[in-house]
Structure 1
């Protein structure tokens, strides 16, 4: 009886192939949730292999969104095992701690931090062999003989019945769904990595004391995490100067020039912060962007296709909502496609998109409000953290 019910509930995707474009946390979670219900899923990821390092800060999954998806995927306990509960140290520019909070037994699972590669490893381990096709960059999709034809760079074409686009905020595949384009928000982030921080920036590492460190002064903000799989990762949040479109007043192609630029920015700050900058081994410059959700998506799609994650609702990373909203996308869409409530795939997708527009718009709003607050010369992390 149980097997019959499961088969009935998954009738929408019976004998259909679902292609997920993008092997980030949202795409892989989507694959896991669909495979649990017996769906035929293939994930196409441009990274060369599962060990390719994903640069970026750690991720924290929230109780009522990201963790909810992990629970449905049967991976919540594994997430708790791998993730690291972390506290917060807020300092002033002199390196004086003005607020500190450490995890407790009661709150340690609220939103522990997980390295991006560790999360990918966890998710890949939950999938059937040969679900993810590595070194497969999808250049375009088009309709051919009643199916989606996926053009893979330097490889043969492949086909699918349903396409789920999860390849990030700068996706080129979403034209079948929306004409919206990402917009810059006026902020940029210089991200840095320090290898062996306990040796190479020992004073800053001690100042963190095992917690994330946050500091703001006159519109310059820094957020650092000393534990990112052996690397200390930090982001410096800056407002773009008025009157120019691109960040070209500094040659960001040169680490030495970035270092000089940041050293000038941190003039007057404690030497500990300059030690951090001088020890940095890797830099990346991120323009903060958002994908507007103020226009309806196209309803004349030739075959089932939709967007999840940043491809659907890219937002500034200032409320911790990006990946969590994306995991909610995967949870709702996978449920709609497999729970037997909808008569067509199109109806299941439409219902998901209607829900997504509501919670993603709220998340974007919170992110944007935090961004505007953070760009104020009088900003303090105490206010953001409601301390």
Structure 2
């Protein structure tokens, strides 16, 4: 096997990095994941994920973790409302793609790895080469050594520059995420309106989605075309953000405004992408590549991000362990050739949705039908 007697370093313990670690570790590969979070108990921010058949679910199946995913995942339908909080229609529960909390997914993957596979509190600041090995540099920690580096540390990856000169681009949309703990108590009217489903509403180019079952909290997201006054606000000031959202939603029913007032945590996120139009560097000093958001970050408007990343892990692991390639570099090159095709398609689908969802006349009825 190409990775016999080789040390693999994966930068980033998100779902894609951990999936990659599991897949190659079960093939006997020596792998360490370096993660900037302080420990395994650090809370992962963000809404639940649904893993798609053929990509995310296929990766979990290959890792032997499908049963655990379906045990912890929650099948959720869709409740479509308008700005007046009228329920327009509901879509049946989607049992084939249950929503799973990000922390639950991380726990499943972490528990599947051998002890000491993760080096916590390691913020990677850069790489260098010494004596035919990669040296990984960390903030306030000693260097580590590896033969192969896989960057899986998200859209702002510090190792991307060793693979590509492509830069993060803003797509023109802005996302505000909010969280309400104990929603049945803190926003009972809105919680009841959800009726156990993911709630969706849209008006004048603003799209709103809420999931009432995110490990005891209600998580929601609001997206619209970006304006400068939203990009530089202090999102730790929950009162101020709630008031601004109430103004933005002035024509909406009071139940939405009550939700904003009950929100304890906000985050403002410019929608980002990395173009795959620029060829990646060919003359890398040692084997290195990117997977997941580090390779092809895209906004969440088509639900493709984590699933595309898990597809990366499936293909890259197969190439590195299936004995079909002469060397590690050719195995990586073949993975990247495939990835460029399907990741571009995922980005294109996302861009089409992003434009459509922020048209003034858009309604979720277009997508789901009544």
Query: Same fold, TM exceeding 0.5?
Result: yes
- Can you give the 5+ residue segments of structure 1 that lack an aligned partner in the other structure? 1-10
* Aligned equivalent of 2:346: 363
Does the 8 Å CA contact 2:178/2:221 hold for their aligned counterparts? Answer: yes
Distance in 2 (alpha carbons) for counterparts of 1:121 and 1:98: 37
Equivalent residue runs for 1:1-387 within 5 Å: 11-103=1-93, 107-108=94-95, 110-241=96-227, 244=228, 247-248=231-232, 250-385=233-368
Q: Summarize the Cα distance change of 1:141–1:386 in structure 2 as closer, same or farther, 3 Å threshold.
A: farther
CA contact (8 A) 1:289 1:314 kept: yes
SS of the equivalent of 1:156 reads strand
Contact 1:188 1:237 (C-alpha < 8 Å) held by counterparts: yes
Structure 2 Cα separation of the partners of residues 29 and 125 of structure 1: 12
Q: CA deviation at 1:281?
A: 0.4
Whole-angstrom CA distance in 1 between matches of 2:349 and 2:343: 10
Q: How much has 1:158 moved relative to structure 2?
A: 0.8
Alpha-carbon distance in structure 2 between the residues aligned to 1:385 and 1:178: 39
**Distance in 1 separating the partners of 2:61 and 2:107:** 17
Q: CA deviation at 1:254?
A: 2.3
| Counterparts of 1:194 and 1:282, CA distance in 2 | 7
For 2:240 and 2:344, locate their aligned partners in 1 and report how far apart those are by CA, in whole Å.
Answer: 38
Counterparts of 1:120 and 1:131, CA distance in 2 = 14
Offset of residue 360 of structure 1: 0.3
Question: Structure 1 pair 144/386, CA: closer, same or farther in 2 (3 Å)?
Answer: farther
Cα deviation, residue 153, structure 1: 1.2
Quick check: 1:370–1:384 contact (8 Å CA) kept in 2? Answer: no
Residues in 2 aligned to 1:87 and 1:147: alpha-carbon distance in whole angstroms? 50
Residue 247 (structure 1) shift: 1.8
Q: Quick one: distance in 1 between partners of 2:368 and 2:171? A: 22
Distance 2:289 2:213 in 1: 36
State the TM-score, normalized to the length of structure 1: 0.94
User: Shift of residue 246 of structure 1?
Assistant: 7.3
- 1:282 Cα deviation after fit: 0.3
Instruction: Compute the TM-score of the two structures, normalised by the length of structure 2.
Output: 0.98
Aligned to 1:12, the other structure's residue is in SS state coil
Per-residue Cα deviation, 1:196-221 (whole angstroms, up to 9, x for no partner): 10010000000001000000011111
Shift of 1:259: 1.1
Q: Secondary structure at the match of 1:334?
A: helix
- TM-fit CA distance, 1:102: 2.5
Shift of 1:384: 2.9
Q: Give the superposition deviation at 1:251.
A: 4.6
